[in-house]
Amino acid sequence: MLAATETVHHNGVMFDFAPEAGATGPELYDKLIRAAEALVAGEPDGVANMANVAALIWQFVPDLNWAGFYRMVDGVLVLGPFIGKPACLRIALGSGVCGTAALTGETQCVADVHAFPGHIACDAASESELVVPVKLAGAVIAVIDLDSPRKDRFLPDDARGIEALAAAIAPAVGG
Ligand code: SME
């Protein structure tokens, strides 16, 4: 169940989630995923669900300068809901960190974006990046992209946590 500080008002407008102070790793992502599942429950619109999940990631995961989605549209990644500076609109499969994740279907955890061949710089502040494919019935339907201004920001716990989040919300994103 959600903690007392986390209230969901499905018939109202208030979504009050908060990570517990000092929560890290699996515990943090467990909370994030439960909050995301509560938020997307019953909402069929994929864009609305991606918008709320991007906002939750921003609230729960520290040290980010960009968090959001690119959606697979006719074989190209197209910018989806996000928090951060305006970003490139379309990314070809195989291009940059996002296009590599979408093409391979594999999580890309990049400790230093400047060392990643073909990295696409949308915000000069970005130093490290985590991109996780969102899959439905085995097909990549979107990617979740997190950027940090800190090198080496993303650890295996972050990759596994965002992968679990992607699996949990995939049906709500595909809608
Ligand atoms: N850095 C990404 C592009 C998207 S922005 O970071 C938001 C990439 O190389 O695919």
Q: What are phi and psi of 78, to 5 degrees?
A: -120, 135
Whether 127 lines ligand 1, by a CB cut-off of 6 Å, is no
Whether 125 lines ligand 1, by a CB cut-off of 6 Å, is no
Model pLDDT for residues 82-136, shown as the tens digit of each residue: 999 999 999 999 999 999 999 999 999 999 999 999 999 989 999 999 999 999 9
Predicted TM-score (pTM) of the model is: 0.91
Q: 157 burial class (0-12, 13-18, 19+ CB within 10 angstroms)? A: middle
Q: Is the pLDDT reported for residue 3 higher than 50?
A: no
Q: Cα separation of 137 and 77, whole Å?
A: 18
10-14, 132-136, 139-143: range with lowest mean pLDDT: 10-14
Model pLDDT for residues 22-54, shown as the tens digit of each residue: 677 899 999 999 999 999 999 999 999 999 999
Domains of the chain: 7-173 (3.30.450.40)
